[in-house]
Amino acid sequence: MGLKKLILISIICVLGVILSIAGPVMLVMAEDGNNTVGDNDRNSVKPIDWSRFTNGLPEDESSLRMENILLNAVKYNLTVWYEENFGSQTGGYLDLGGVGEGNIRPPASAALGIATAIKLGIYDASFVGISKEEAVNRAIKIIKSAAYYHKVNSPGGWGDAWQSALWANLVGTSGWLMWDDLSTTDREYVRKMVEYEANRFITYEVPYYMDESGNIKYPGDTKAEENAWNSGILQLATSMMPSHVNWNGWMDKNIELMISSYARPHDLNNTEILHGKQVKEWLNGTNAYDDGTVINHSRIHPDYMTSIGQIINAPVLYTLAEMATPKAAFFNADIVYNSLVDLKFDSPPYNAPGGTIYIDDSPDIYYPQGNDWGTHRRMNFAMMDTYADAFGFDNLVTQKADYWENYHAQMVLDMQNRHDDGRTYSASSEDTYSGREQWVALLAARAYQAKWIKHQNKYILTNDSYFGSLPESWEQQTIGGASGYSDYSGDTFSIESTGHVGGINDSFKYAYKQVYGDATIIARLNSLESTSENATAGIMIRKSLDQDAQNVYVSYTASGDISISYRNEKGEETHTETPIEFGQDIPVWFKLEKVGNTINGYYSTDGAEWNLITTQVISMDNISNDSYIGIVTVPGSLSQASEAVFENVQINAPDNLGYVFSNQTNTAFPGETINVSVTLFNTTEHDITVQSSIDLREGFDTSQNSQEVTIPGNETVNLSYDIEVLPGIDSGKYVIPINISYGQGEVINLQSEVVVRLAPNATLFEEDFEDFNENTWTVESGEWATTLEDGSTVYEGSSNAAALSVAGDRDWSDYIISVDMKPIMRTAPANLSSGIIFRYNGTGNFYHFRLSNNAGRTVAELYKWENGVAKLLKEIDYNFTQGTWYELKIDVQGEQIDGYVNDELLISIIDEGTSLMKGGIGFRTYHEQTVFDNLLVMGWSDEVDDPAVLDDVSLSADQTELNPGESTVLSVSGLMNDGTEADLSGADIEYASSHPDIVEIDAEGRITLAEEVQDVRSFEVWSEVTLAGITVTSNIVEFDVAVSIPLIRDTLEYYKDMNALQTPLYKQLSNRLDQVEHHKDHGRDNAAVKHMQDFQKHLYKRGMQKYISEEARDILDADAQVIIDRWSEEKFYKNEENKLMFLLTKTFHFGRSFFPS
């Protein structure tokens, strides 16, 4: 698209926005610059062209059944549910009652069901009882209201949350389907909502259940479902807005999320090419096991295996958008589906009776480790079957998907046929999710959409790369929150990007080569197109791919000048020199030379005669000698894009030995061993022999003073030194030189830094604020007082400006201070912060380690105050929220200062020449109300006794027999090894049980038995207590499940469901229990006991043994005996009581006759 055409389109769009603002509703623009995209033609929505779909409606039996299911769900949600929730509302936008999941997700799900029925042509007004016109009106009200209340359209609205991408996908898909029926204003609400939620993921770090080494990062909680629904919003955004400036960034993350969602350990070595990269190159972990199962809610959970449907909805969206579906949408779908159909689970260890999740000739589902979502969830499985049949990923299973759909979908329809109003469920026990009826509408809509898309015969699949291809050894990467692509054909590079180069952090799409040592790049810029007058294109050398990396950038500007910018130090502001007037149209040639740390920049009109325009000395650090050299174009903002074409791009880097320090800086205590290692890269075609030596100073020792190694061509090798830090060494920073020589006298001189720390051995100050002595604290400013927070006494500071309270000894020098801190609320409309004060020597002289919110950017910061003047020493982005506890810790020894949050080292500096070598401690808040607890200051003493440590832990319970659903409280106590009682208030206490599937124990020690205990009659509970680094396991407490008639009934049902008890005997046993309860309720205990004994006899009838398993018989017999023994004992004591009353009565009457009145 030409520049003039883009400018004309932009002018037309601006006029359109002005006209829309003149209407009745003012659009609320996004506050977050990273998510704000201007309303222009490129970013607009492409409506669905319904005229393309000419094959009518599918009329096969399964499609007609799914149509019936969807219409039932639509009927219920349009009538009963809508009237109950919104029937009395008359405004233009519905009041959804809040911005939480329960307020947004159910309406969004209902809207998708209604919109699908209307737009795909199956809506039946006579069946639903609502005219089509009114159905459209109600669907539109739900859609526009949910979109309007999103935070991008209404301040304080929903969005930018863990599950909000799912809700936005549902609302956005519904809105796209109903696009022709939405007003211009409401279309913009929907568009901006989808755009905002999609933009969140451009720089998103994809989470994994397990890392690449197999370590579980989120116990009991796969990230498969989460990644799948986040992919969903990106599928929708790339379908709705195919020309958006962020389309490439969206699609890049979409493919990564698709592949990662159900990635298995096997895939970490998978070399299959998906969209231009090997599968293993897309992954940083896994979310499923190799057999296709996933863990959620701490169990193998079939419901969350069907969540892959969030991804497999992709063919519907892309076909509606006239686009091919990415092949990644079906990654591992066949394996997951096979695990539902054919993967067998043995019992034990899995729940009886074992077998496959899908049960042959039955709609029932087997849950290998139990189910926590109710007994009648089938629509998700019916949808999964529909997808597998429509899109053909049932290739691995023994029984094809249409076979299973007949059972699962029919069960849903049978459930609906129980009711006249279209609802599916009769009781919450069938599905415990509160939005279950809307959930059915959503899944039925997606299943029917899949059948409809298949019938239209428009669906196609692609494995094309969306991101262009580059020459060998070239790479491309998005830096910051930008989006774009780069491609190479013949001798021509094409690159498009949003973003900017400048300030502290850059954002752009970069095409580059990684080089080691000295290098030169030459390139001819042929064209630059952008609607932005700030657009530039040129070449760059940068130290790393970090946003704030050192770099030099020479470029041509849209205004026709030559521009020079550079950042000499990492994290500094970018410097820009006065532009040079070029004086003619492009093409223009650029050259950058890197020699050591010096970079020279040139431009030329012919590529032969060069004009030197800048010379910069860049801090390239001592960690590695690599740099990243390549081509760039940026429009100057994230809301626009620029395109550039380069030719004759040459990168010349001499054969060299590259190196990277993997651990240049170490922190250690005396007596520890540290490792220093350097990775060497041979960039030549021939072998290189390397000699390395290490020069140790007093206080260190190693057996590896020198090493010699030969590195084959284009290979790498790791040089590693184990260095012992000897006892008796002083604390401080030490430098260890490493010399590497090779070739004809080439030498690499490296330096490893070791910071020696001494472990504290004395408590200087400790305060939990329970028995607070205000005389130990000095309030310098603000309001400070003890208060209650989360059941504990805490120290609270608050002020409209700064609040400062201090304690401790100003002669303290080196110490470690830690405290729990919880920011509560903002007290003034400005930046806010709270944290630790240390080395305090008066109001204007101290260090301050704090968590700050600076205009929405959350950071950890270290400030130094001298004579009332604050200086920022270091900051780092750190995500924190108000209302959450954080542990802050400072370790200060000499000039070395280390700052931690939740035991993560965030800031480490050496403040050379500091005058603040001693001082007390304290807390400071700024424009914020904050509470503090559990303050501890540790220091050093020459003589100190070994501290007492935890030696024994005792666990007890208020009661050890529980009915199903009943709770009790556990109590933990401990003894130290000196015989004193342990203070466990600061201990880490973890509880465990032998049956976590039915026993829940919260952090406070409250134990709750599940309502359904299956055949479990006893279980064990224990605790592990960690105090001061010592972990002790308690005694085991044994619990019994209280046996009752209701429990026996539940057990009958359980064994019947497990096929361990079959109908003939089941009916006889149930009848006996009816008789037992009847006689017991009428006070006929003898008869009740007799029928309970008959119950036992039935268990052992010879002809009935084929109808019951041995395990079931033994459990039921034991339960019955417990009841018999209990009632017999009660009868005995009742008889004894009657005898006693008789004797007392006789005695009373005897007394009256003996002593006349």
Q: Which residue has the higher pLDDT, 1126 or 328?
A: 328
Cα–Cα separations (whole angstroms), residue 146 to 92, 141, 604 = 12, 8, 56
The strand pair at 285-286 and 886-893 is best described as unpaired
DSSP string, 1041-1084: EPP-HHHHHHHHHHHHHTTSB-HHHHHHHHHHHHHHHHHHHTT-
Total tally of structural domains belonging to the chain: 6
Q: Is residue 1091 assigned to a domain?
A: yes
CA angle 19, 24, 27 (to 5 degrees): 70
- 1144 within a domain of the structure (yes/no): no
Same domain for 814 and 849: yes
Q: pLDDT tens-digit profile of 1019-1070?
A: 999 999 998 778 999 999 999 999 999 999 998 989 988 898 998 899 989 9
The answer on 593 and 457 residing in a single domain is no
Cα distance between residue 628 and residue 269, in whole Å: 27
Does 348 sit behind a cis peptide bond, omega within 30 degrees of 0 on the bond before it?
yes
pLDDT at residue 259, as a whole number = 98
Q: How far apart are CA 77 and CA 438, in angstroms?
A: 7
Enclosing domain of residue 1059: 1045-1137
Q: Does 1147 reside within a domain?
A: no
* CA–CA separation, 536 and 516 (whole Å): 27
Q: What is the sign, positive or negative, of the torsion defined by CA atoms of 298, 435, 99, 196? A: positive
3-state SS class at 341: helix
Q: Which residues does 845 contact at the CB level (< 8 Å), separation at least 6? A: 865, 866, 867, 916, 919
**Residue 504 tokens, joined:** 């502290």
**882 and 914 share one domain:** yes
Residue 4 lies in a domain: no
**Are 575 and 678 members of one domain?**
no
**Which tokens hold the place of 785?**
């007082």
Q: Which residue, of 722, 755, 788, is where some domain finishes?
A: 755
Is 486 found in the same domain as 449? no
Task: Please check whether residues 389 and 494 belong to one and the same domain.
Answer: no
Query: Three-class SS of residue 380?
Result: helix
- Secondary structure (3-state) at 95: coil
Q: What confidence score (pLDDT) does residue 968 get? A: 94
Q: Which residues pair with 541 in a beta bridge?
A: 552, 629
Q: What percent of the chain has pLDDT over 90?
A: 66
Task: Give the CATH number, domain containing residue 680.
Answer: 2.60.40.10
Q: Using CA atoms in the order 503, 507, 510, 515, what is the torsion angle rounded to 10 degrees?
A: 50
3-class secondary structure, 240: helix
Residue 5 included in any domain: no
pLDDT digit string, tens, across residues 490-508:
899 999 999 999 999 999 9
pLDDT band at 760 (very low <50, low <70, confident <90, very high): confident
Distance between CA atoms of 487 and 476, rounded to whole angstroms? 9
Q: Answer yes or no: do 688 and 832 share one domain.
A: no
Domain holding 1034: CATH number?
2.60.40.1080
Confidence of residue 945 (pLDDT cuts 50, 70, 90): low
| DSSP letter (8 states) at residue 80 | I
Closest CA relative to residue 715, chosen from 741, 738, 740, 685 = 685
How far is it, in rounded angstroms, from Cα 813 to Cα 920?
A: 9
Q: What is the CATH number of the domain that holds 205?
A: 1.50.10
Residue pLDDT, tens place only, 630-687:
999 999 988 889 999 999 999 998 767 888 887 667 778 888 888 888 889 888 888 9
Residue type (1 letter), 140:
I
Tell me the chain's radius of gyration from C-alpha atoms: 36
Residues 1106 and 1118 in one domain: yes
Question: Are residues 800 and 663 part of one domain?
Answer: no
Task: Confirm whether 11 is domain-assigned.
Answer: no
- What pLDDT was estimated at residue 843? 80
pLDDT in tens, 412-456: 999 999 999 999 999 999 999 999 999 999 999 999 999 999 999
- The CATH number of the domain where 918 resides is what? 2.60.120.560
Domain-located, residue 34: no
Of 858, 1044, 1071, nearest to 964 by C-alpha is: 1044
Cα separation, 74 vs 65, whole angstroms = 14
Are 213 and 70 part of one and the same domain? yes
- Which residue, of 628, 653, 678, is where some domain finishes? 653
Indicate which CATH number applies to the domain containing 614.
2.60.120.200
* Same-domain check for residues 1001 and 1026: yes
- CA–CA separation, 381 and 363 (whole Å): 10
What gap in Å lies between CA 773 and CA 765, rounded to an integer?
13
Are the beta carbons of 505 and 547 closer than 8 angstroms? yes
Q: Compute the distance between CA of residue 535 and CA of residue 640 in angstroms, rounded to an integer.
A: 9
**Average pLDDT over the chain, rounded to an integer:** 89
Three-class DSSP labels, 663-716: CCEEEECCCCEEEEEEEEEECCCCCEEEEEEECCCCCEECCCCEEEEEECCCCE
Backbone angles phi, psi at 59, to 5 degrees: -120, 15
pLDDT in tens, 314-365: 999 999 999 999 999 999 999 999 999 999 999 999 999 999 999 999 999 9
Q: Please give the distance of CA 208 from its chain centroid, rounded to a whole number.
A: 8
State how far the alpha carbon of 867 is from the alpha carbons of 840, 841, 845, 862, in Å: 12, 10, 6, 17
Residue 909 in domain: yes
pLDDT of 148 higher than 80: yes
Distance CA 663, CA 677 (A): 6
Assess whether pLDDT exceeds 70 at residue 29.
no
pLDDT digit string, tens, across residues 167-207? 999 999 999 999 999 999 999 999 999 999 999 999 899 99
Q: Which of 1010, 1025, 1041 is the last residue of a domain?
A: 1041
| Bridging pattern class, strands 746-756 and 665-668 | parallel
Instruction: At 747, list the tokens.
Output: 């030498």
- Do residue 80 and residue 178 come from a single domain? yes
Q: CA 961, CA 959: separation in Å to the nearest integer?
A: 6
Q: For residue 703, give both structure tokens.
A: 């057996």
User: At a CB cut-off of 8 Å and minimum separation 6, what does 577 contact?
Assistant: 563, 564, 565, 613, 614
pLDDT at 729: 86
The torsion defined by the Cα of 289, 291, 292 and 295, in degrees rounded to 10, comes to: -40
Strand bridging mode 700-701 / 815-826: unpaired
The answer, yes or no, to whether residue 900 has pLDDT greater than 80, is yes
Q: For the packed helices 436-456 and 401-416, what is the interaxial angle rounded to 10 degrees?
A: 140
Distances (CA, A) of 1136 to 252, 392, 1129, 1131, 1143: 81, 75, 11, 9, 11
pLDDT at 401 > cutoff 60: yes
Q: Is 47 helix (H, G, I), strand (E, B) or coil?
A: coil
